Chain A
Amino acid sequence: MSTSGFVQDKEMRPGWNRPPLIEPDGEGEVLELAMGPHHPSTHGVFRMDVALDGERVIRLKPVFGYLHRNHEKLAEGMSYLGSMPFTDRLDYMCPLTNNWAYALAVEKLTGQEVPERAEYLRVILGELTRVVNHASAIGFLIQEMGASGTPLMYAFKEREKILDLFEALTGARMMVNYMRFGGCRVDATPAWLDAVRKVVAGLPKFADEYENLLRGNEILMARTQGVGILRPELAVNAGVTGPMLRASGINYDIRKVDSYGIYSRFKFRVPLGEHWDIYDRFMIRLLEMRESFGILEQALKDIPGGPVMDPKAKLRGFRPKPGEAYGRIEGPKGELGFYLISDGGPNPYRYRIRPPSLINLTILEDMCLGQNVADVVLIFGSVDIVLGEVDR
C-alpha cells in the first residue's frame, strides 16, 4: 500500500481534541509497523499502522475497508424489507439487535404500531443477544491476553444453548431475519418460552462461574488496570457509546434515555466505571450481563398473549411517504442507528447505518499513545468491535 497514515497535521483551528504529539526520545530509530490485516489477535481484517519508539507507541493510524461490502449501495436497489437479511450480516455477533434497530427506524418513518407481545419478544431476544455478545467479548479479550481460549470455551458453551433457542424460534442459528416492520415474523410457542425460562434460570450460575474464574486473576489485573484510560469528556466528544462510554463514568444508556419499545417497564441498573481503564470495561460487561438476566426474568414473567404483527401492516407494496427518520437502539456494542430518507418509492433513497464500532475506534489512537505495543492489542480488544459493522 502506498501511503502510511503519517501525514503532518495540516493547519488546524486551535482548541480541538487532537491526539497528543509524542516525540521519540532520540535513542535509536522509529520503527513503522503494520499490524494486520491478518494478525492472530485482531477481531477480523483490520490494520493498524503504528510507529514505535522502542516499545512505546508514538503514532497509530487505523486502516479499514478490508470488509467493505457496501450495504448502503445495495439497499438503494432493494426494497425496504429486502435489506432486512442484510442487517443480520452487519454485526454478526448480534443479528437480532441489528434487525430491531432497522425495524425501529422504519417504524419511526411510517408511524406503525407494534403489538405488546411482539415488544416483549423483542426485549427477550435482544437481551439474550446482549448476554451472548458480552460473554463472547470478554472471552475474546482474555484470549488475546494469552489464555488460549479457555474463557472463550465457557462463553461459547452458553452461546450454543442460546443459539439453540434462536434456531427453534426463527429457523437459523445466526442470520435470523426475524423482525419485521410492525412486529415479529413468527409467534413463540409456550414450549419455547418454557425452554427460555430453563436456560435463563441457568445463566446466573454461569455468570458466577465466569466471574470467579476471571475477576481476581493476577495476570488480568496487572495487565488491564491503569491501561488504556479514556477521559469522560473526550469520550463524549468523540462519539463513544455503549459499555465503553459507561466505563468512562458517563451515565448514558439509550434504553433509559429514549425508552424505546417497552424498556420503561423494566427495572434495571446501569453500571458505571470509576477508573476508566480496560478492567472497568471488562467489569461493566460482566455487570451488564447480570442486569440483562433481571430484565429477562421480568419479561418472561409478564409476557402477554396476542398477535405478534401489526394487523394494519402492509407487507406487499410497502411504500412509505416521503420524509426521513433516524432511529437508534442501545446495541450491545453501542448506539446502533439507521438513517433513512424515503422519496415515496419502494426503495429507500438513502440508507445509512450509524456503526458503533467505527465511531468507538475514533479514540483508539488517543488511548494507545504512550503505551507499550503489547497493550495496544488489549486496548483494541476492550473496544469490542466487529469488522462487519465498521466497514459495512
Chain B
Amino acid sequence: MKTVEEIKAAIEAAVPGAGVEIVLNPSVSAQHSLRLASAHAFEVATFLRDDVELSLDFLSNATGVDWPDKEVAEKVKVTRSVTRTLDGVEQQVEETVEETQKRVVPGCLEAVYHLFSVSKGHGPVVIRMKTVNRTDQVQLPSLTPVWRSAEFQEREIFDLFGIVFTGHPDLRRLLMWEEFKDYPMRRDYVEPDDFEYEPTAHDEVLKRAQEHRAKLAAAEMGQEGATA
C-alpha cells in the first residue's frame, strides 16, 4: 500500500496539473487525506479507480463537512505615516505599530470520500474537495459516474449541506421532503419552533420556550389591539 506522498506523485504523473495537496491528520489513526482541486477531480478519480497498482474500486463512504466563516483576530504590524513634532518641527514620520486586526476567513463546504480496494485489500485512501464558498458557489463535480455507490450519498450531501454536484444523474433531496427549504446539517441552521410545551425546561430550551411565549403574547396583544 503506497503512502500518501507516493499516491500524490502517481496522480501528478498521470494527470498533469491536477492540483493535489496533502492534508495531514494529527490524530493517532494517521489517515492522511489528499485535497483535490475541482477542475480535474473527475480525471483523478478515474485514474484512482483504473490504475493497476492502486485499483481503488470501492467507494466506502462519502460525506460532507461544513466549515463556517471564522473570525480571526491577528496581531499585525502596520506602518503608518503620522504627524509628529520633532525638535519643534512638524514632520511626517513613518511609525510601525502592532495592532489587533479582525478579519473573516470565508468558510466553505467540503466533501470527503473514503476509498478502498476490494481486489487488492488495502485502504483507506481519503480524498477531499472544497467548494469556493458557502453561499452561491457550491458546485463540485459528481463522482457517481466513477463509483456508483456515490449516487445516494451525494444526494444526501446535497439534501443536508447544499453542495450541488454537477453531473449527478438525479440530484434530488433524499431524506427530507421535497418542499423543504433549508440545509439542516449546516452549523447555522435554526430549528423550527415546536417546543410549545416543555415541562422541565432549562438552559437553552427554557430561553426558547420563553421567547416563544413572548411571541405568542405579543401576537395576542396585537390581535386585541386590532379588534378593539
Contact = CB atoms under 8 A, between A and B. Distances in A.
Contacts of B114: 326, 337, 339, 354
A234 interface: yes
A111 B28 CA distance: 6
A323 to B, nearest CB: 2
A324 interface: yes
A147 to B, nearest CB: 31
B185 interface: yes
A317 to B, nearest CB: 18
A16 B60 contact: no
B124 A234 contact: no
B174 A5 contact: no
Interface string A29-69: 00000000000000000000000000000000100110010
A2 interface: yes
Interface stretch (A7-15, A117-125, A128-136, A170-178): A7-15
Given A236-B118, A250-B118, A109 B175 contact: no
Interface stretch (A88-96, A190-198, A357-365, A372-380): A357-365
Given A9-B169, A12-B169, A257 B31 contact: no
B63 interface: yes
Given A236-B58, A252-B118, A362-B151, A109 B145 contact: no
B175 A335 contact: no
Size class of the B contact interface (CB-based, 8 Å): 35 or more
B148 A239 contact: yes
Interface in B5-51: 25-29, 31, 42
Interface residues of A, number: 59
A3 B27 contact: no
Nearest to A70: B184
A341 interface: yes
Contacts of B57: 236-237
Contacts of A337: 60-61, 114
Contacts of A9: 169-170
13 contacts: A7-B170, A11-B167, A13-B42, A64-B174, A108-B29, A324-B31, A326-B126, A339-B114, A342-B27, A349-B65, A350-B63, A361-B152, A362-B151
Given A252-B118, A252-B121, A363-B148, 17 more contacts: A2-B179, A12-B145, A15-B145, A16-B148, A65-B174, A72-B185, A73-B185, A109-B27, A111-B28, A234-B148, A236-B57, A241-B60, A321-B26, A328-B60, A339-B112, A339-B114, A352-B61
Interface of B: 25-29, 31, 42, 57-61, 63, 65, 112, 114, 118, 121, 124, 126, 144-153, 167, 169-170, 172-179, 184-185
